[in-house]
Structure 1
Amino acid sequence: MNVVRSETPQSAVRRLRLPGNGFTYFTLNAGDRVSLIDPEGLQPVDLFILGDGAVLDPPDPAVGRSLMDVLTSSDQGAALLEQLQAAGLSTRQWQSFHFSGAQKTGTVVSVTAHRPVTCVAHAPAGTVAEEWLPATALSIEIHSDTDTPVDDLPLPLAPEIASMRIPAATARSYFVKAGDYIQIIDVSGKQCSDFLAFDANALKQGVERGLDMTATRTLMGLSSSTPGLHSKYFDETMQPLVEVVQDTVGRHDTFLQACTAKYYDDAGYFGHANCTDNFNTALEPHGVAPRYGWPAVNLFFNTSVMPDGAITVDEPWSRPGDYVLFRALTDLICASSSCADDIDEANGWQPTDIHIRIYDRSCSFPKGIAHRMTPDAAPILTRQTGFHDRTAALTRNFVEYRGFWLPNCFSNEGAIAEYWACRERAAIMDLSALRKFEIIGPDAEELMQMAVTRDVRKLSVGQVVYTAMCYEHGGMIDDGTIFRLGERNFRWVCGDDYCGVWLRELATRHGLKVWVKSSTDALHNIAVQGPKSRDILRKVIFTPEHNTSLDELKWFHFTTGRIGDARGVPVTVSRTGYTGELGYEVWCHPAQATDVWDAIWGAGEAHGMRPLGLEALDLLRVEAGLVFAGYDFCDQTDPFEAGIGFTTPARKTDDYIGREALANRRAHPLRRLVGLDIAGHEAVHHGDGVYIGRAQVGVVTSSVRSPLLGRTIALARLDVTQAEIGTAVQIGKLDGQQKRINATVVRFPHFDPDKTRVRA
C-alpha cells in the first residue's frame, strides 16, 4: 500500500491507489469515512472487512465473493495473503461487499467505520453490455475527523527478521547479514534518511571500509550531479556492499554529506541536533571513528544542480509509506538516520520518523523503480511484460522504460547485428510499454475528433491513423496512433499515461458520454519488422474469410485473427512500426504472450529473424526520421516544429484542441525539424547547439551513427530562416564555441526519403 499525503501538512485525508485486477490494504479508525472513486468508469470493486461484527455503514451492497477465493486466485492475491499473514492479521473471518462500477466517472460508494478495522479492496475485471473491458485502477480516499498525522505503514513485503523505528532527528546502527534485505520506509512522507554501510568483517579487523561515493560514481558511470540512486554502492576497494532492489520514489541525492554541526552553527542554530553527530554516537560501539561530516546515501533528499554548478534543495518527493529496498552483498554494519533538519525545505520543515525492516535472504523481490502516471499518483513499480520470459532467456541487459523492463540489447547479438537483421531480414521486438486506451461510448468519435489533429471522422473500421495530440497553445502532449475498432470504439496507442487523464478531462468538460479505459496491462504487443516480416507472419496468422488477410493488409490498417488456426490465440495484427521497414505489430493478451512469441519466433528462424532491443531501435528510428517524445518534441513544440505537420491538415473543419493556435503557427513558423549530415566521426548528442558563425540557430534533437549510410546523421530543430536544404551549419561542442563539427542540412528520412521500403 502507498499512501499519498495531501497538500495540507496536517490534512486528515489519505489517498491510495487500487490497481486494476489488483489489491490494496488499509486500516480505519472509528468514524473514518472511505470513498471508493472510479476515475475511468465501469469498474466494479470488492471490499473485504477483516474480523467479525457490523463495522461499516455501506449503502445496500451486493454480497461479495469469499476473501480466500479472491486472494488465492492470482499471484498478486497470494502475495497479499502472505503479507497479511506476515503482519499477524487473520483472514479467517471477514465481511464481503461487492459494488458495481459507476456508469460515470466518480464515486462508486462511500462507507463509514464504526470501530478500528482492517480492509482489503480488490478491483476485478468485468464486462458491460458484452463489451470487453480491462480492469482499471480506482482511487481510495480516507477522511478522518482527527488532525493527527496517520502512521500507516505499508504491509511487510515478507516475514520480518527485524523491525525498528528511528524517531525524528535520531540515528541508529544495525547489523545485516550478506544476502538479507533492508527496507527503509519514510513513515509520514517528505523525510530524508541518510544511509551508511560498512564491511562488518573488515571492521572486526579494525579497518573501516564504508560506502565510497567516488568509487561508486566512477564504476557506475554516473556523475555526481545526477539525483537518483545507483544500482550498486561500492567501498574504496571497489567491492560492492549493497544493491538497490526497489525504489518507490526515484528522487534522491547521493553526492552530499549528512547534515553537520557546522551547517547549523553557520546558520546561527548553535547546538542543533544533526545526523553526523547522531551517526558518531550510533557507530561508536562498532569502533568506527567519529567524523566532522559523513558522506552518505541521502535517501529522499531532493537536490538539483543548476547549469552553473550550484546545488539547490527543495522539499522531498517522497509520500507516506514510500521506501527503498536494499540487498546486502556482504555482512554489514549499517546506520540510518531520520534527518534533524527543520530550518529549511529538506524535510518539509518538520522532521518525522523513519522505519527499518530486515528480510531474510531467502525472500525473492522483483527489481523495480517507481513510475507515476501523474506527479500526485501512487507509484507503480517496474513490471514485466507478457513476453518477458522469452526475452529474458536471450539477454540480461534490461532497462526501465516507462514502468516496464524492456531489453536494451541481446546476448551474442548487439545493437549493430540487431539493426542489420531488421534492415535485411526481420527482427522481433517487445513494445508492450506503449500506453493503450479504449475509448468507448456514444460520443467516442466526438471526443477523439476534438482531442487530436487528424480528422477522425474519415477513419474507417480496420484503419489506423498516426496523429498528434496537443494542448490549447499548440504544444504537443504526445503523438500516437488511433485504431478504429467499431462505430463507437477506438483505441489510442501512445507513449504517455497522461493522455488518458487528458481525454477524461475533455470528456467531462464537454459533457460527453464516453469512457476512457486504460488497457496497457491487458494488451501487450510485439513488433515484427523487416523485409521478411510478411513472409514470416503469413505462416502464423490465420484470418477468417470475412477479415482482411495478411497479404491484403495495407499500410496503417489492421485485421483480427488467430495464431495458427481458428482455435488459436486471438490477436490483432496492424501494419505499423517504428523502423522505416515493412513491418507489423501483433497485439494479444499478456497471459497468452509467450504462445504468440513462440509461434512467430519459430516461423522466423528460417528467415534469419533476430530479437531487437531499444538500442538498435534508436538507430532505426532516427534513420527513418521518426520522432521521439522528450527528444524531438515536447509541450513547447508544435507538430510543424516536430516534423509531423502532415498530421495537422488545414482542411479539417471540426474544431479541436489547439486549432486556433496551430493555424497561427502554420502561418507564422519559427522553427523547422530538418535532417543533418555530419562531417567526420565525432559523436553528436541530443541537446548540442547548431550554429552559423557565433549565433546559435537551433539544437540537435536526435543523432546516431548510421550503419547503412556509414556516417553520423541527426535530426535538428532550426530557425526557419536557416533551414533550407544545403545550408552549411556547425555543431557546437564544449561551450559551443571552442569546438565545432561541420554539418549540412539535408532532406530526411536520411536513408529512404520517399518511404518506399515501408510501403513495400
Structure 2
Amino acid sequence: MHAPVISRPYEPALFARAARLERHRVAPGGLTVVELAPDDQLELIDVEGDQPAELLAFDDQGRNALAALGLFADPSADYIAGLLAGHSADSARMRLGLARCGIRGETLGSATRLWPAQTPAGHARTLRASAALVVLVAAPAAPCAVDSQQRASELRLLITRANPRALLTPALPEPLGEVIDEFTLAPGTARDYCVAPGQYIQVLDVAGRQCSDFVALDRRGLDAGREIELDPTVTRTLNGSAYPGPGLFSRFYDRQMRPMLEVVRDTVGRHDTFGLACAARYYESQGYFGHPNCSDNISRTLAGHGVQARPGWAAINFFYNTAVDAHQQLTFDEPWSRPGDYVLLRAMTELVCASSSCPDDIDPANGWQPSDIHIRVYSAQERFSIAMATRKTPDAEPVLTRQSGFHPGTSALTGQFIDYRGWWTPTRYDGHGAIAEYHGCRERVAVMDLSALRKFEVLGPDAEALLNYCLTRDVRKLAVGQVVYSAMCYEHGGMLDDGTLLRLGPDAFRWICGEDYAGVWLREQAQKLGMKVWIKSASEQIHNIAVQGPLSRELLSRMIWTPGTQPALTALGWFRFLTGRLDDYDGCPLMVSRTGYTGELGYEIWCHPDDAMKVWNRLWQLGEPLGLVPLGLDALDSLRIEAGLIFAGYEFCDQTDPFEAGIGFCVPLKSKQDDFIGREALLRRSANPQRKLVCLQLEGNEQAHHGDCVHLGRAQIGVITSATRSPLLGANIALCRLDIGYCEPGTRVEIGKLDGQQKRIAAQVAASTVAYDPDKTRVRA
C-alpha cells in the first residue's frame, strides 16, 4: 500500500498558499509602517547584516506603546524622529499618514534600537503584539562617500497573523496618487467605467495569480453610434510583432490605428498574447455548461452603453500567463503575479472601459483559486514614472525601474531608453546614432552610463577567503588598488555571472557584476561556511560612467585630482583603480578604474549619485573640444563584439562554463591551489570540452543574429551568440559557440536562416575571438 502523493511545490510569496504571512520591505534609510492586531507576530530580519534597526509603536489612542511589544525606549534612537521632522515631501507624507492614525509629532516619544552593531546577515528578532498597534520600522542610514564601504541596507518584515480569517485578502497597497474612482471586482464579475484623456487606470491583482480581462471603446465613437475598440492585429503590427508573444505592448491601438492606451508601469512582466477573454464555448468544450465567463460578463456590463454583445471579446488579458511553444501552440500556466502586483495605463483618448475578475477555476489560469481584482482611476494631473519591476528573489519586494544620477544628462540628449536590468539605459542618442557613436569611441572619446552594474561591498576578516572560494580567480594574488576580471560559477560549472573585483583594503573588496542575485549567493555561501564577512549592496549609492576611446586619458587627466598616496590618472595601469576628487582637493570624491567594455583605452568613473551631474557636466565641458560623444547600448554592442567581450544571456548562461563562454583564461585550474565552487566540474569539463566560443567572418552583406543555427551540411554544429556589422572592418562578424571539432581557424561553416535549411550564409572561423585589435594594443596603450 502506498500513501497518496501530495503536491507541495515551493511557491514563495503566494498569498493563497500562506494566508497568515505578510511580507514588507524597509528600504535603506527608509521607514515602513505596518499595523498589528493582538497576538500577531512580527519578525524583523537584517537581510545583509550590520544594519541598525529602529522601531516605534503606538496604540489605538495614538500613544507610545513599545511595551505592548515587550520593548523599552532608547533615548539615543533618534533616526525616526529625524525622518518625520524633515522638510522633504516624503517626510510630509509620512506625517500626514500618521496623523490619519491619530499619531502626532508631539506624542512620538522615544524609539528603540532592536539589536547591536555588527549583526550577521539574516539576523532576526521576533516580537508579539499584546494589543492593536501601529508600528514604524526604520533602517537608519548616513551619507557614504564612494570610497567608503559602510553602506546602509534593507530590512525585511514578516508578519504572521494570529487571525487570518479576518484577512480574507491581503491589505490593498497605498494609492499611487489622487484617486478619481476605485472599486473591487469579485471573481466572476465585471464592471464598466469611463476615463478621460490623460487619466490613469491601475489594475491591481489583490491576492496574486488572478487574471483580469480588459476592453476599451472610444467614447466619442459610441456617442456617434460606432463601436471602435482595441484591436489586437493593429496593435501587434504597429508594435512590430508579427506573431503574438507574452508580455505587454507599450501602446494599444484601435482598428483605425489611433492610440488608445499606453502602458506606464507593469510590475509582473508576463501577460497574455492579447487573445480572447474566456468565453462560454471554452467551458462548454471542457464539460462545464453554464459556467460564468468574462466575455458574457463584459457584454452585460457594456450593454448600458449600447454596445453589442460578443460571444468572445478580444481583450488585454492582464496577468494571464500564456506562451507560444515550439510547435506554435498556445500554452498557459499559473500567473506570475504576486499580491499587490499591478499594471498602470494612461488613457490617450476618452474611453469606456470594462474590467473583469476571471472566474476560471477549472485549470491553472487563476492559480486554481480565483480572487479579487481592484481597479483605481487616477487624476490626469498625476505624473508617474515609466517603469517595470524586478525582484532579486521570487519572494522579494518588486523594485521599479530606476534612473541613475546621470539621467538628467542622458535624457537631455535622447528619449531612446530601455529597461536594462532594472535601470533606464540609453540605446542611442538623437543627432548621433549607433554608427556615429561607435566611430566616436574608436577615434576620439565617448561616455556611457553604466550605472545598471551591480556593486557589492564584501567586508570582514573572511572576505578574501569567501571571494577566493566563490570566484574562479586566485583572489589571494590581488593587490590593494588592483582589479581582476573573474567568473562566478555554480557547483556544476555553469556560470552565475562574470564581473570585476576591486581590492580596497586587506579585508575590503568590491564585486561589480550584472546579476542582483550575486549578493544573495555570496551571503548564502558565507552562511554555509560560518564565515565572518558582510556582503552589502551598494548599487543605489554608487553610480558609474565609462569614458572610453583613444583620447580618454587626455580628457580625464584634466579633471581628476589625486592625493600623493594615489597614482596620478596618467600613471594608472590597466586593471588598476585610484581614489581621487573632481578637479581639486575640494571636489567631490571619485574612484576611477582603468577598465571598460569596448576594447579601447578607457576608464570608468564611480561616484555617489548626488555627485553624478557634477561629473557629467565637467566631462562635457572639457570633452566637447576633443570630440566627445555619448555612447548607447546599440553602439556598445558592436564595440564589445569586435573586442570578443562576452554578454550574459548571449555568450553564457547557467548551462555554459567559462571555457565554453570564451573566458577560460580566468579559470587558473593549475596555478590556483585553493578549492572554489565548481572546481571539480570545471576540471571534468576542461578535460572533455564539447563546445568553444569562436569568431566567425561572414561572406557578403547579410547579417547573422543571436540564436541563428550554424551548420555543416544538414547537421547543426553551433549557434550564434552575438553578431554585428563591423564599421571599421567593413564586414559582418559573429561570436559563435561551436562544436569543438570545427574550431580550427579557416574552417568553413554555414549560418542557417529561415528554417536553417532553406537559406545559408557562408562563414569561416577566424584566428581569434577578438576581431578588432586582437593583440589588445589599443586597450593597453
**What TM-score, normalized to structure 2?**
0.94
The answer as to whether partners of 2:418 and 2:424 remain within 8 angstroms in 1 is yes
Equivalent residue, structure 2, for 1:723:
743
The answer to whether the aligner puts 1:219 opposite 2:227 as a matched pair is no
CA distance in 2, matches of 1:700, 1:597: 37
The answer as to whether partners of 1:190 and 1:317 remain within 8 angstroms in 2 is yes
> In the alignment, which of 503, 519, 530 is matched to residue 500 of structure 1?
519
The answer to whether the aligner puts 1:540 opposite 2:556 as a matched pair is no
Aligned-partner residue type, residue 52 of structure 2: P
The answer as to whether partners of 1:304 and 1:313 remain within 8 angstroms in 2 is yes
CA offsets, 1:113-135, max 9 Å, x none?
2334343433221599x964222
> In the alignment, which of 35, 39, 62 is matched to residue 74 of structure 2?
62
> In the alignment, which of 603, 607, 614 is matched to residue 588 of structure 1?
607
Equivalent residue, structure 1, for 2:506:
487
Q: Which runs of 5+ in 1 are unaligned?
A: none
Q: 1:498 to 1:66 in 2, by over 3 A?
A: closer
- The Cα of 1:281 is off from its aligned counterpart by 0.9
Equivalent residue, structure 1, for 2:48:
40
Equivalent residue, structure 1, for 2:762:
742
Equivalent residue, structure 2, for 1:464:
483
Q: Residues 179-198 of structure 1 correspond to what in structure 2 (within 5 A)?
A: 179-198=198-217
The answer to whether the aligner puts 1:30 opposite 2:38 as a matched pair is yes
The answer as to whether partners of 1:22 and 1:76 remain within 8 angstroms in 2 is no
CA distance in 2, matches of 1:687, 1:78: 50
CA offsets, 1:351-373, max 9 Å, x none?
11111111111111111001111
Equivalent residue, structure 1, for 2:632:
613
The answer to whether the aligner puts 1:117 opposite 2:133 as a matched pair is yes
CA distance in 1, matches of 2:588, 2:49: 29
Aligned-partner residue type, residue 165 of structure 1: T
Q: 1:277 to 1:669 in 2, by over 3 A?
A: same
Q: 1:243 to 1:441 in 2, by over 3 A?
A: same
Q: 1:573 to 1:713 in 2, by over 3 A?
A: same
* SS state at 1:62 partner: coil
* SS state at 1:617 partner: helix
Q: Residues 83-94 of structure 1 correspond to what in structure 2 (within 5 A)?
A: 84=97, 92=105, 94=108
- The Cα of 1:220 is off from its aligned counterpart by 1.1
CA offsets, 1:31-70, max 9 Å, x none?
2111111121011223344532526314445354375741
Equivalent residue, structure 2, for 1:247:
266
CA distance in 1, matches of 2:136, 2:379: 26
- The Cα of 1:683 is off from its aligned counterpart by 2.3
The answer as to whether partners of 2:236 and 2:244 remain within 8 angstroms in 1 is no
The answer as to whether partners of 1:427 and 1:609 remain within 8 angstroms in 2 is yes
Aligned-partner residue type, residue 126 of structure 2: S
Aligned-partner residue type, residue 228 of structure 1: G
The answer to whether the aligner puts 1:145 opposite 2:165 as a matched pair is no
The answer as to whether partners of 1:525 and 1:588 remain within 8 angstroms in 2 is yes
The answer to whether the aligner puts 1:281 opposite 2:281 as a matched pair is no
Q: 1:127 to 1:83 in 2, by over 3 A?
A: closer
The answer as to whether partners of 1:4 and 1:16 remain within 8 angstroms in 2 is no
CA distance in 2, matches of 1:99, 1:593: 35
Equivalent residue, structure 2, for 1:673:
693
> In the alignment, which of 108, 114, 122 is matched to residue 106 of structure 1?
122
CA distance in 2, matches of 1:110, 1:556: 46
> In the alignment, which of 677, 680, 684 is matched to residue 664 of structure 1?
684
> Which of 92-101 and 659-668 deviates more?
92-101
The answer as to whether partners of 2:71 and 2:112 remain within 8 angstroms in 1 is no
Equivalent residue, structure 2, for 1:175:
194
* SS state at 1:264 partner: helix
The answer as to whether partners of 2:49 and 2:123 remain within 8 angstroms in 1 is no
Aligned-partner residue type, residue 139 of structure 2: A
CA distance in 2, matches of 1:205, 1:294: 21
Q: Residues 193-592 of structure 1 correspond to what in structure 2 (within 5 A)?
A: 193-592=212-611
- The Cα of 1:107 is off from its aligned counterpart by 3.5
* SS state at 1:288 partner: coil
- The Cα of 1:224 is off from its aligned counterpart by 4.0
CA distance in 1, matches of 2:736, 2:99: 55
- The number of residue pairs the alignment matches comes to 757
Aligned-partner residue type, residue 141 of structure 2: A
Aligned-partner residue type, residue 141 of structure 1: L
Cα RMSD over matched residues? Answer: 2.1
> Which of 40-49 and 411-420 deviates more?
40-49
Q: 1:185 to 1:88 in 2, by over 3 A?
A: farther
* SS state at 2:436 partner: helix
Equivalent residue, structure 2, for 1:11:
19
CA distance in 2, matches of 1:103, 1:247: 36
CA distance in 2, matches of 1:641, 1:173: 55
CA offsets, 1:623-660, max 9 Å, x none?
11000000001111111100000000121001111111
CA distance in 2, matches of 1:266, 1:737: 39
- The Cα of 1:142 is off from its aligned counterpart by 0.5
Q: 1:371 to 1:52 in 2, by over 3 A?
A: same
The answer as to whether partners of 1:161 and 1:360 remain within 8 angstroms in 2 is yes
The answer to whether the aligner puts 1:759 opposite 2:775 as a matched pair is no
Aligned-partner residue type, residue 163 of structure 2: T
- The Cα of 1:78 is off from its aligned counterpart by 4.3
The answer to whether the aligner puts 1:640 opposite 2:640 as a matched pair is no
Q: 1:627 to 1:131 in 2, by over 3 A?
A: closer
Equivalent residue, structure 1, for 2:6:
none
Q: 1:505 to 1:83 in 2, by over 3 A?
A: farther
The answer to whether the aligner puts 1:690 opposite 2:710 as a matched pair is yes
Aligned-partner residue type, residue 365 of structure 1: F
The answer as to whether partners of 1:58 and 1:110 remain within 8 angstroms in 2 is no
- The Cα of 1:171 is off from its aligned counterpart by 0.4
CA distance in 1, matches of 2:637, 2:188: 47
- The Cα of 1:668 is off from its aligned counterpart by 1.2
CA distance in 2, matches of 1:89, 1:360: 27
> In the alignment, which of 78, 82, 90 is matched to residue 77 of structure 1?
90
* SS state at 1:521 partner: coil
CA distance in 2, matches of 1:258, 1:642: 44
- The Cα of 1:102 is off from its aligned counterpart by 5.6
CA distance in 2, matches of 1:688, 1:538: 44
The answer as to whether partners of 1:729 and 1:744 remain within 8 angstroms in 2 is yes
Aligned-partner residue type, residue 507 of structure 2: R
Equivalent residue, structure 1, for 2:7:
none
The answer as to whether partners of 1:43 and 1:126 remain within 8 angstroms in 2 is no
CA distance in 2, matches of 1:73, 1:639: 50
CA offsets, 1:729-752, max 9 Å, x none?
000111111110000000221011
> Which of 432-441 and 133-142 deviates more?
133-142
* SS state at 2:69 partner: coil
**What TM-score, normalized to structure 1?**
0.96
> Which of 626-635 and 744-753 deviates more?
744-753
CA distance in 2, matches of 1:72, 1:700: 58
Aligned-partner residue type, residue 715 of structure 1: L
> Which of 559-568 and 41-50 deviates more?
41-50
CA distance in 2, matches of 1:523, 1:609: 23
CA distance in 1, matches of 2:389, 2:398: 5
Q: Residues 643-654 of structure 1 correspond to what in structure 2 (within 5 A)?
A: 643-649=662-668, 650-654=670-674
The answer as to whether partners of 1:530 and 1:581 remain within 8 angstroms in 2 is yes
CA distance in 2, matches of 1:79, 1:733: 59
